[in-house]
Structure 1
Amino acid sequence: MTQSNTVTVHILDKEYCIACPQDERANLESAARYLDGKMREIRTSGKVIGADRVAVMAALNITHDLLHKQQRLDQDASSTRQQVRDLLDRVDQALADDSAS
């Protein structure tokens, strides 16, 4: 593997070399910074001790946030679909009323 295909990231003061396509490098670095921040928040709270436990709690928190946002997007999409159906029904009704005149 060539150096250009790896990215070095730092998470909780540890260095990780990760294989990554060049066009995904910025996303990986951003994800690593986000994860590092979440893990530091958890570690700083003092409620969770040990890097493994901190990592699991960070993963659970991030996953919870992701699923919550996905659920909200699904609800928004469903609401939008319903609004479009309602508008189409109104258009159909208006066209029917117009053709009856």
Structure 2
Amino acid sequence: MSDKPTTVEVNILDKAYLVACPDEARGELQQAARHLDSQMREIRASGKVFGTERIAVMAALNITHELLQNDVSEGAAKVLERMNSRLDEALGESGN
């Protein structure tokens, strides 16, 4: 496996884009492009947003929001995990 980038063609809203990408990340890039394409098609189909640039910005905002929500959820899960662990330790120390 080489970190040397190769050119990968992805299609978003029926337009081809050439993107430099390491071979080992090719599948992830294609998956990301499919996700972006899907988000943009949904926004375009809603009929509320016009213009490729505006559709792309709305898709970027939606995807960023999803990522931030996941980060918050994962962060909350970690806090709950730590609290649970501390409770287990405290209960173990008290003999219960």
| Aligned-partner Cα distance in 2 for 1:83–1:6 | 48
Q: Residue in 1 aligned with 2:43?
A: 42
Q: TM-score, with normalisation over the residues of structure 2?
A: 0.92
Task: Determine helix, strand or coil for the equivalent of 1:49.
Answer: coil
Q: Residue in 2 aligned with 1:53?
A: 54
Amino acid at match of 1:66: L
Q: Residue in 2 aligned with 1:64?
A: 65
**Structure whose CA Rg is larger:** 1
Deviations 1:11-39 (A, max 9, x none): 01110010000110000000000000000
Superposed, 1:2-41 pairs within 5 Å as 5-41=6-42
Q: Structure 1: which 4+ aligned runs deviate by more than 4 Å?
A: none
Q: Which runs of 5+ in 2 are unaligned?
A: none
Amino acid at match of 1:43: R
**Once the 2 structures are TM-superposed, how far is the Cα of residue 93 of structure 1 from its aligned partner?**
1.6
| Backbone CA RMSD of aligned residues | 1.3
Q: What count of residue pairs does the alignment treat as equivalent? A: 92
Q: Which runs of 5+ in 1 are unaligned?
A: none
Q: TM-score, with normalisation over the residues of structure 1?
A: 0.87
Task: Determine helix, strand or coil for the equivalent of 2:50.
Answer: coil
| Aligned-partner Cα distance in 2 for 1:28–1:55 | 17
